[in-house]
Structure 1
Amino acid sequence: MSKKPMQKFMDWLQYKVTPAVQKFTERPWVHGFSAGIVKCLPFILTGCLIFFYNVVQPYFPNILPNLSAVSNYTFSMLSLLVAFMMVYQEMGSLKHRNYQVVGGLTGICAYILAMKGTTVDGVYSVTWNRFGPTGIVVAICIGLYVSIIFHLIAKLNLFKNNNTIPEFVQEWIKNIIPIFLSILLLKIVIIDLDVDLYPIVLKLFAPINAIAQTYPGFILLNLFCCFFYSLGISGWTWSGPRNAIFIPAQAANVAAVAAGGTAMYLTTSEVCNGIALICLGGMGCTLALNIWCLFSKSKRLKTLGRVCIAPAIFNINEPILFGTPIVFNPILMMPMWICTTVNATIVWIVMRTGLLAIPTIELAMVATIPAPFSTVMFTGDMRGVIWWAVCLAVDLLIWYPFFKTYEKQEVEKEAAEALAKA
């Protein structure tokens, strides 16, 4: 008997798409790229902590010191950190571990050179903002450029069969050559040809950022991660390219408000993750499913709902994702996709029409604060509570028929098991 179309589709996802995606994300260059961004998260979160501190500090100026410098020398130097970490992680992924530190330091040198500083009266200066989050795309490009040079030199395998030169001298030469080439080639472009790569790179990536800030781009970016998450592939897998869009966009929002303007960009981590409307209970809006499980006729689902509700409140949904399971379950995968699309549409409409404020604070990657507290905190708008309730109500309605269908199967299975034991 031939398989049903849905079963064929699920088999295609499970045995073709998922292995192919996992194989792609495990490739050394891709893994190193994503890891390079993820490893910088502690510095981003440090800047977030200072934001919370600065909310309270003005009320106790004589007791609490000004710690803005901590943020300035962590989050505000994000691009410089990415330039190092990108090369460091790429060298590790490519099995050139002896090049990790030297390559990372070369990435810093190359990035500072690419910033095209100016010298006035013997004083060399670089625009401070270029070290911050707006330059993260440039830092990624510089990091990949340095990584390629180090990788090519490593592949030459210099001194493979040479025992006459001392080992420490061999190591010096192996390091000097890629350092020299990395800086020399960049120096020719930046200094000799008088090219400023910073605005050029930003301009090249501007169309991608522009598309990401449209409604279709906004929906696609959220749905893309949700789709693969329903296949068991973590959203962290895509953190590298997503943050390359998210972080500069939010930095532009903050700068615009500081200059007396208005925030314009919605495709940011603060909107897609932080306010917890598009990810209510975790990616895929699974809080509604968790709530229905609490009242389930199935003993297994009811127990699962009780166990998973606490993590779900903090937008952690791996327990229910793999516990029900949702992964590779066509009945429960579809409402994940639908809820993500619908909630993202609601957020887009209410923010574009001014019914909910666009976040203007930089709290990237903070997605475990319970909603609606996070919604109000990120937006500074009490109407966030209303829209949280609306999104939750919509999610409950969307999940209900799919949940009842799955619940019926589970109840029948439990009844059959009980009968078999009798």
Structure 2
Amino acid sequence: MLDKLEKILMPLAEAIGRNKYLISIRDGFLVSTPLLIAGSLFLLIANFPVPGWPEFLESIEMGNGMTLATFLSKPSDATFTIMAIFATMGIAYSYAKQIDTDRIFGAATALMSWFLLMPYVVDGTVTVGGKDVTASMSGIPLGWVGAKGIFVGIIIAFTSVALYAWVKRRGWVIKMPAGVPPTVVESFSALIPIMVTMGVFFLINTVFGMFGTDVFDIIFVWLQTPLLGLGDTLGAMVIAYVFLHLFWFFGINGSSVVGAVFNPILQTLAVENLEFFKTGIGEGHIICQQFQDLFATFGGAGSTLSLIIAMLLFCKSKRIKQLGKLALVPGIFNINEPVIFGLPIVMNPLMLIPFMLVPTVNIVVSYLAMAAGFVPICNGIQIPWTMPLGISGFFATNWVGALLQIALLVLGVFLYMPFIKMMDKQYLSDEQKAIETPIEEDDIDLDDLSFDDL
């Protein structure tokens, strides 16, 4: 059975791990990660989960009708609100690297193409003669540069960079004479590929405009909304995590393989959650990036912090005890390679069941608790995945979320307990045999050596 699974999963993981599109998406989103975490720090200060705190910040006047709360919201506006810009730029840059073309010009071309297709119309309400009137004004819609525009950005990043590279590889470039500075040569070399790309996207925008619509609306309605709807389900989350842990069982980083496909959906849902909590516009989602990072596993893949605690509390073998002590501190910060490869969990059929079962239980219990309203859904604030449980749950939801994390951690300890005790029994037997039958060592005396025997 394991051999059959290995034959299926190993080639699949290798194919995904070498796919230039998935690699570009994964690496491209990493551009925005430090920016979003930095913006989240200010967002946490502005929305600290203490009764009366937001109202207190609103009461502090800073001049010109601005309050301290207004200023604290600016860093999040400069990160979360325009997240799609960072994603488009990062993915285009990474894809240009994958296909060996100009990275910075590829990223710039993608941004230009993305903005070229964007409808510069902002619908809003203005007060005229004491009455509120709905009006359309020219401007860049913040919705499209945020969560709603991410999938359009992904598609345009690939198509625009591919078109740019296609033109350049055919030699359709302006060549400068010798002695011209390299930066000038690169700039003029990019001119024709950029013009061709711009022309193509101009025609696309014109054709859609003739039919009274635009690319952003089409992709959002027919692609992004169905994908987000599919991703925002308990079934999708459970299936993703089953595959994630199967990959880890065979020694493959399942988080990278599955995350390359699933994380863009989760991150988009998280940004929509943040917008919902800030403005009340749209709807909140139970499944999102924070749900995965903070409630599915504790201590890393397999929720192995529960396993480490079980190792320390219920095991007697020196091997497991010592490994538990070494793995405890990294596990608190969600780093679990010492357990994955040291226990081991990799290629260990005995540990496969709890390794997959505990995260699944965490997901189902957390989802049902949030769906029933016992625990608030995650607020979308980007919390580092290394933040210990309890603290992370408090910031992502409130104190009830922190208690849920602790309860699931304890539940995981008892789910892992019978399996790790079976391993402990085997290791104790091995250690006892080693004591009873010590390895004979041959004493070597250098004085007995003679070069005459050679």
Who is 2:297 aligned against?
279
Q: CA deviation at 1:401?
A: 2.0
1:29 and 2:29 correspond: no
Q: How does 1:233-312 map to 2 (within 5 A)?
A: 233-234=252-253, 235-260=255-280, 264-274=284-294, 277-295=295-313, 296-312=315-331
1:138 and 2:155 correspond: no
1:421 and 2:439 correspond: yes
Who is 1:383 aligned against?
400
Q: CA deviation at 1:223?
A: 2.9
Q: Work out the number of aligned pairs and report it.
A: 405
- Residues 346 and 110 of structure 1, relative CA distance in 2, 3 Å threshold: same
Who is 1:412 aligned against?
429
| Secondary structure of 1:357's aligned partner | coil
Who is 2:130 aligned against?
none
**Structure having the higher Rg:** 2
Who is 2:117 aligned against?
114
TM-score by length of 1: 0.85
- Does structure 2 conserve the Cα–Cα contact (< 8 Å) formed by 1:43 and 1:78? no
Q: CA deviation at 1:197?
A: 1.1
Further displaced range: 168-177 or 212-221: 168-177
- Structure 2 CA distance, aligned partners of 1:117 and 1:240? 31
- Does structure 2 conserve the Cα–Cα contact (< 8 Å) formed by 1:38 and 1:239? no
Who is 1:52 aligned against?
44
- Structure 2 CA distance, aligned partners of 1:335 and 1:270? 23
CA RMSD of aligned residues (A): 3.0
Letter of the 2:16 partner, please give it.
Answer: F
- Structure 2 CA distance, aligned partners of 1:252 and 1:49? 18
- Structure 2 CA distance, aligned partners of 1:280 and 1:24? 26
| Secondary structure of 2:218's aligned partner | helix
Q: CA deviation at 1:111?
A: 1.4
- Residues 114 and 233 of structure 1, relative CA distance in 2, 3 Å threshold: farther
Q: How does 1:91-110 map to 2 (within 5 A)?
A: 91-96=96-101, 99-110=102-113
User: Could you report, residue by residue, the CA deviation over 1:353-376 in whole angstroms, capped at 9, with x for unpaired residues?
Assistant: 11211122x223522222222222
| Secondary structure of 1:342's aligned partner | helix
1:229 and 2:248 correspond: yes
- Does structure 1 conserve the Cα–Cα contact (< 8 Å) formed by 2:383 and 2:392? no
Q: CA deviation at 1:270?
A: 1.3
- Does structure 1 conserve the Cα–Cα contact (< 8 Å) formed by 2:13 and 2:257? no
- Residues 82 and 383 of structure 1, relative CA distance in 2, 3 Å threshold: closer
Q: CA deviation at 1:119?
A: 10
- Structure 1 CA distance, aligned partners of 2:422 and 2:74? 55
Q: CA deviation at 1:213?
A: 1.6
Q: CA deviation at 1:25?
A: 1.3
- Structure 1 CA distance, aligned partners of 2:410 and 2:335? 20
Aligned pair partner of 1:70 in 68, 71, 75: 75
- Structure 2 CA distance, aligned partners of 1:174 and 1:303? 60
User: Could you report, residue by residue, the CA deviation over 1:107-136 in whole angstroms, capped at 9, with x for unpaired residues?
Assistant: 11111112221499xx95111221123321
User: Could you report, residue by residue, the CA deviation over 1:267-315 in whole angstroms, capped at 9, with x for unpaired residues?
Assistant: 20111113xx311222211112101221321111101101111121222
Further displaced range: 22-31 or 108-117: 22-31
- Structure 2 CA distance, aligned partners of 1:262 and 1:192? 30
| Secondary structure of 1:76's aligned partner | coil
Q: CA deviation at 1:261?
A: 7.3
Further displaced range: 57-66 or 201-210: 57-66
- Structure 1 CA distance, aligned partners of 2:277 and 2:61? 28
- Does structure 1 conserve the Cα–Cα contact (< 8 Å) formed by 2:39 and 2:75? yes
1:342 and 2:356 correspond: no
1:368 and 2:386 correspond: yes
Q: CA deviation at 1:241?
A: 3.2
Q: Could you tell me which runs of 5 or more consecutive residues in structure 2 were left unpaired when the two chains were aligned.
A: 63-67, 124-136, 441-454
- Structure 2 CA distance, aligned partners of 1:19 and 1:152? 30
Q: Percent identity?
A: 22
Task: Using CA pairs under 8 Å that are at least 6 residues apart, name the structure with larger relative contact order, 1 or 2.
Answer: 1
User: Could you report, residue by residue, the CA deviation over 1:224-253 in whole angstroms, capped at 9, with x for unpaired residues?
Assistant: 323323333331444443332123222333
Aligned pair partner of 2:411 in 377, 394, 402: 394
Q: How does 1:174-213 map to 2 (within 5 A)?
A: 174-194=189-209, 195-203=213-221, 204-213=223-232
Letter of the 2:302 partner, please give it.
Answer: G
1:313 and 2:313 correspond: no
Aligned pair partner of 1:41 in 10, 30, 33: 33
1:127 and 2:145 correspond: no
Q: CA deviation at 1:94?
A: 1.9
| Secondary structure of 1:421's aligned partner | coil
- Residues 260 and 93 of structure 1, relative CA distance in 2, 3 Å threshold: closer
- Does structure 2 conserve the Cα–Cα contact (< 8 Å) formed by 1:38 and 1:240? no
- Residues 172 and 287 of structure 1, relative CA distance in 2, 3 Å threshold: closer
Q: CA deviation at 1:210?
A: 1.2
Q: Could you tell me which runs of 5 or more consecutive residues in structure 1 were left unpaired when the two chains were aligned.
A: none
